[in-house]
Structure 1
Amino acid sequence: MKKTLSTRGITMLVLGCLALFGTSCISLKKSELIQPISIPDYSNEFVNEQRDAYHINVGDNLYMKVYSSDVKTSKFFRTDFPELMNDSYIYLNSYKVDEDGYVKYSFIDKVMVKGLSIEEAQTAVQTAVEEYFEDVTVQIKLVNFSISIIGEVNKPGNFNIDREQITILQAISMAGGLKEFAKADEVRLVRKSPNGTVVKNLDLTNSKLLESEYFFLLPDDVVYVTPRSSKSFAFEKFPYGLFAGIISIGLSIYAITK
């Protein structure tokens, strides 16, 4: 009879410990990104009306360079000199879009670039340069395209983007991906607007995100990956010492009654 009671007690202890331990576990369903709403609704193609490249705004800094196979032209634009292609060099050699949307480069007339994509701006500046030189190629890069990723990611920080567009998933990948306790279904996007600041909650587990206007990030966007409330319990409140003690006592009772 004594052995039966002890065995029952051990069983209850083990079940209690398992239940307690289970409260600190995270469902993989809550951390899986881009989940289909249902199997019939799943599609391999999502249309996003905001997929167009970034359009230049007033105050943007543009790095501009003119290249040519002609030696004299290259010397004129100093493209025959070695360049330190780091962020500081590019910023110091950039040109700011004025309040009217124009950019002034070298001796050419100012060129309207507001509202243009980087590719369209390159064409506009090249057309202006070709009025004076032949066989030239214009390179333009948006200098101030930087974003910040903070919160439950492995490598939070500020990132300079060397392309015309980037998605929120690509940005999180640059930040090392989500941590174990990241709340993927509630990621906050902080974005500047004409009236101030907009804060948008995004659900990265929903495949509808691929069609959202917020799927593509803009310069100065801040992505905050919020933590789950279970993180606080798991790392601060979970009684690991008590848990180990209960297991130890259970094993001792089992050894005595065996």
Structure 2
Amino acid sequence: MRIKLIFILCLFCLTSCGRRNLAYFSDLQDKKIYSEKISNKTEPKIQADDLLSITVNSLNPEANTLFNRGVITPIGRTIDFSVGGSPNIDKYNEGYLVDKNGYIEFPVLGKLKVGGLTKQEASDMIEEELNDYLKEPTTTIRYLNFRVSVIGEVNRPSTFTIPTEKITILEALGMAGDMTAFGKRENVLVIREEGGIRTMARVNLNNKDVLNSPYFYLQQSDVVYVEPDEKKEIQASTNTRNISLALAAISLASLFISRIL
């Protein structure tokens, strides 16, 4: 009986030692309202391989058509991506693809460097160039391939096209069906490429300080990776069957010994 009790205690220790905090922002104080100023939201900058919709308007309606041969995509329609991850431009009207040096080929104006600029900065630059051709020109720029990827321990890993061009890491996880119980909420990896530099940062979603992280608001082509915990690694290991057999053998042995005693 004593051996059986020891065995039960061992099993209890094994199951309890790997307990994981599944709550987001678990360090928030227990009060009804928590507020703070948003200071970490930044405007994404145009990069190589971005696909842009640029619409020109002015007081010269007839002349506008000269500058609007790029994408005229209905709002809500997204770009179809091929298996390799590149936009299938043949299926829809072609947009302005930013080349590796940050340039686009714009009607009449020729090559314009928009890489490294925000949408507002690019709009201001194009409008200044258009002043020689149009009266009071205005431009509207939208990303046609603003997308983020969520992989790892989530219920629906995928790449998502974001028509609003604004998304937080929590919204991305929600689109992916949230984390599984095996996902490490305290150690989520965000991979970002910007200005030819790749950065990787880990954020702790158990901690409210993530709300002020520069990686809380995702940017174009960010990848969110949710790492599995040790339990999932053991479960996926080739030794799982051996562990199960060993536990079954111990259980039978303890039962046999207890009956003899």
* TM-score bracket for the superposition, by shorter chain length: 0.5 to 0.7
- Following superposition, the deviation at residue 178 of structure 1 comes to 1.0
Q: Which amino acid aligns with 1:240?
A: S
Pair 1:174-2:175 in alignment:
yes
Task: Give the distance between the partners of 1:91 and 1:233, measured in 2 at CA.
Answer: 46
TM-score (norm 2): 0.66
TM-score (norm 1): 0.67
Looking at both structures, which has the greater relative contact order when contacts are Cα pairs under 8 Å and sequence separation is at least 6? 1
Query: Do the aligned partners of residues 49 and 112 (structure 1) sit closer, same or farther apart at CA in structure 2, a change above 3 Å counting?
Result: farther
Task: Give the distance between the partners of 2:69 and 2:98, measured in 1 at CA.
Answer: 22
Could you tell me which runs of 5 or more consecutive residues in structure 2 were left unpaired when the two chains were aligned: 80-87
Pair 1:240-2:244 in alignment:
yes
Match of 1:147 in 2: 148
Higher Rg: 1
Is the 2:78–2:163 contact (alpha carbons within 8 Å) kept by the matching residues of 1?
Answer: no
Pair 1:51-2:41 in alignment:
yes
* Aligned pairs for 1:1-258 within 5 A: 6=1, 8-23=2-17, 25-27=18-20, 29=21, 31-36=22-27, 39=29, 44-57=34-47, 60-65=50-55, 85-87=77-79, 88-89=88-89, 92-97=93-98, 103-107=104-108, 117-118=118-119, 128=130, 132=134, 139-194=140-195, 196-236=197-237, 237=239, 239-244=243-248
CA distances 1:140-166 after superposition (whole Å, capped 9, x unpaired): 321232222222222223222222221
Is the 1:166–1:216 contact (alpha carbons within 8 Å) kept by the matching residues of 2?
Answer: yes
Is the 1:153–1:179 contact (alpha carbons within 8 Å) kept by the matching residues of 2?
Answer: yes
Task: Give the distance between the partners of 2:158 and 2:3, measured in 1 at CA.
Answer: 51
Q: Which amino acid aligns with 1:63?
A: S
Query: Do the aligned partners of residues 111 and 50 (structure 1) sit closer, same or farther apart at CA in structure 2, a change above 3 Å counting?
Result: farther
Identity of aligned residues (%): 27
Is the 1:153–1:182 contact (alpha carbons within 8 Å) kept by the matching residues of 2?
Answer: yes
More helix per residue? 1
Task: Give the distance between the partners of 1:181 and 1:105, measured in 2 at CA.
Answer: 49
